[in-house]
Chains A and B, each alone.
Chain A
Amino acid sequence: AQSVTQPDIHITVSEGASLELRCNYSYGATPYLFWYVQSPGQGLQLLLKYFSGDTLVQGIKGFEAEFKRSQSSFNLRKPSVHWSDAAEYFCAVWMYSGGGADGLTFGKGTHLIIQP
Chain B
Amino acid sequence: DAGVIQSPRHEVTEMGQEVTLRCKPISGHNSLFWYRQTMMRGLELLIYFNNNVPIDDSGMPEDRFSAKMPNASFSTLKIQPSEPRDSAVYFCASAPGDSHPYEQYFGPGTRLTVT
**Shortest Cβ distance from residue B115 to the other chain A in the assembled complex, whole angstroms:** 20
Interface size on B (CB < 8 Å)? 26
Contacts between the two chains (Cβ within 8 Å), count? 64
Residues of chain B within 8 A of A101, CB atoms compared: 31, 33, 48, 50, 55, 95, 97, 101-102
- Contact B42 A43, beta carbon cutoff 8 Å: no
A42, A102, A108: the one within 8 Å of B101 (CB):
A102
Contact residues of B: prevailing secondary structure: strand
- Contact A100 B102, beta carbon cutoff 8 Å: no
Interface size on A (CB < 8 Å)? 24
Task: Find residues 66-115 in chain B having any chain A CB closer than 8 Å to their own CB.
Answer: 91, 93, 95, 97-98, 101-109
**Shortest Cβ distance from residue A35 to the other chain B in the assembled complex, whole angstroms:** 13
Residues in B lying within 8 Å of A, measured CB to CB: 4, 31, 33, 35, 42-43, 45, 48, 50, 55-56, 59, 91, 93, 95, 97-98, 101-109
Task: Give the top 10 A-B pairs by smallest Cβ distance, nearest first.
Answer: A101-B101, A103-B45, A101-B31, A106-B43, A43-B106, A94-B102, A44-B106, A43-B108, A100-B50, A108-B42
